Amino acid sequence: MCGIVGYIGPRSAVPILIDKLRRLEYRGYDSAGVAVLEHGTCTVVKTVGKINDLAALLEQHPLDVNIGVGHTRWATHGQPSTPNAHPHTGNSGKLAVVHNGIIENYVELRRELEGQGHVFRSQTDTEVIAHLLEEKLDNGAEGDLYRALQLAAQDLEGAYAVAVVAESCPDRLHVVRKDSPLVIGLGEGENFIASDPTAILPYTRRVLYLENGDVGVITREGVALSDLQGNPIHRDVTEITWDVGAAEKGGYDHYMIKEIHEIPDAIRHTLRGRVNSDGKLAVTDLGLSDDDIRALKRIYIVACGTSYYAGVVGKYLFERILRVPTECDIASEFRYRDPIFEPDSLLIVISQSGETADTLAALREAQRHGVKVLAIVNVIGSSMYRESDVNFPTWAGPEICVASTKAYVTQLVCQYLLAFHFAVVRGQMTKEEADRLVGLLLQVPGQVQQILDGEDIYRELAENFMESRDFFFLGRGLDAAVSLEGALKLKEISYVHAEAYAAGELKHGPLALMWTDVPVFVTATQLELYDKTLSNIKEVKARRADVIALVRQSNTDIDEHVDWVIRIPETDDILMPFLTIIPPYLLTYWLSYALGREIDQPRNLAKSVTVE
């Protein structure tokens, strides 16, 4: 999500920190800052905006230093602002912290620390780390920062990569890592840290990849690592052979495939803080009271493009679980049809950027009619985030590819968590049933990874269908809803004409388009609808089309009816959209790759549509 850099050595640190931060700009960010030790004093310079703005500030107050850390922030807790920008300091101002990830128990830690006299200056979860370190230094670590970091990490729940500079250690950087990446670059008489190798490659190709629970102290001469209990550990040195461009993409050829492979972690990030450490549903501080939720009589979901197709899944979900009438509308049509707003309604807007013009217009129209608006957005501080009544953000991290993939999946996560929470509050689902489904949802990242590990079949399919000019996606129920997104991705990136239909509509027109060698991608994972979908498959095969069937792992009777079979892991019917979308994404990528398309920036399209 964010970017961490650090340097210790004989050279001037600030130009190196700024250069390394620039090399992480592709990750997306809203603010930036550095913390250095100037003549033994901890100095922090940070600002909202671009790295150029930070560089301009530093030029006004030149710092001749040889040690420091830097950070680019993608807001998760607290809007983009200078106080919320990293680095963060504690009460004394004698140490500074930069952090990537999410601290799930920061609210409890903050209350405890405030009770001990700590004064907070930001809305972030990160600031608790600085105060917690100060507390551990005074109580338990006897002034030893290395030990304080080990003790503090044991109190933190969530994901974190942390780097620290402190006046008490003018010749050392300290780091700790859990679930968020952190790399140490090894130089000659100097060393580097970064979130990924992109920032390090111009300086060294010898790196140490930290693992979960690793705590490190870094000097000019070397690196010492231990676990959280202080036991020494060893990590092998890796020699990087990528070029800088490849490093930005994590070694992948395109951002799209990198972001598809980031989906498991994106799901985990979006679940954090909403599911407790025992795997139980824990949606808190939502901004909707239980009475508001019980009173709901209608839900409107409004979005565009991929976000709209995520909303189609949400419509199925809310109506099935809550039994509340739910409309899902394309934002560009919503306000122009003069919608009828009913009392006790909730409008949910969905947008990756939070700046989509048509969706913003729908938000404002609803608020003019007194309807409360809940925003599911990926950019904290965006217009939708600021203007909505309630926020339930995705934590997918920045998306560089124009076509959304991990944003779509995390939008689903948010809707599922809302549906489960609303259902429990309204008494339409027991806490036990919600926790059962959440337990299955926690397994989804690993199941997605299983699908990603079987990527070769999609390359084979791509080679087989390179000459196809039309593609059809069919499904029923939630399978039909996901088919819409599959078809959108294929047409966006490969430029192959693609259509999605509810399979029951075949006889109402689309069957006329089925002929020899036309590829038809049929998703058939909904158990109660499987027999009907199989009947539709037979209709398509009777017209000699090529059928690719996406089915559950346990399905053993489909092979004789189709040309290709893709099997995916088992889960509850209602959770299948998380798994059924991954094969269309992979097929799209590899077909587009085979066709030589400009995958990350498809023609005529933009990442954020900010005009109507």
Angle among Cα 564, 568, 573 to the nearest 5 degrees reads 115
Could you give the CA distance from residue 299 to residue 346 in angstroms, rounded to a whole number? 5
Q: Where are the alpha helices (DSSP H) in 116-188?
A: 127-138, 145-155
507 carries an active-site annotation: no
Could you give the CA distance from residue 278 to residue 117 in angstroms, rounded to a whole number? 31
609 and 357 in contact (C-beta within 8 Å)?
Answer: yes
Query: Could you tell me which of 251, 213, 259, 246 has the C-alpha nearest to residue 232?
Result: 213
Pairing state between β 67-73 and 158-166? unpaired
Tokens 């990350």 belong to: 600
Pairing state between β 372-377 and 345-351? parallel
Tokens 């947008």 belong to: 351
Could you give the CA distance from residue 520 to residue 499 in angstroms, rounded to a whole number? 10
Torsion from C-alpha of 116, 122, 123, 125, nearest 10 degrees: -70
Find the distance separating the first CA and the last CA of the chain, reported in whole Å: 29
Tell me whether the omega of the peptide bond preceding residue 10 falls within 30 degrees of 0, making it cis.
Answer: no
HSE of 93, CA atoms in CB hemisphere, 13 A: 7
Could you give the CA distance from residue 249 to residue 400 in angstroms, rounded to a whole number? 10
Tokens 């003019």 belong to: 368
Could you give the CA distance from residue 213 to residue 267 in angstroms, rounded to a whole number? 21
1 and 64 in contact (C-beta within 8 Å)?
Answer: no
Q: Which residues pair with 89 in a beta bridge?
A: 96
Could you give the CA distance from residue 530 to residue 536 in angstroms, rounded to a whole number? 10
465 Cβ contact list (under 8 Å, min separation 6)? 471, 519, 546, 591
| Amino acid found at 193 | I
249 carries an active-site annotation: no
Query: Could you tell me which of 493, 497, 499 has the C-alpha nearest to residue 468?
Result: 497
Query: Could you tell me which of 223, 217, 96, 100 has the C-alpha nearest to residue 164?
Result: 96
Which pair of structure tokens corresponds to residue 554?
């346990």
339 and 368 in contact (C-beta within 8 Å)?
Answer: no
Tally the residues of the chain.
612
Write out the catalytic residue numbers.
2, 607
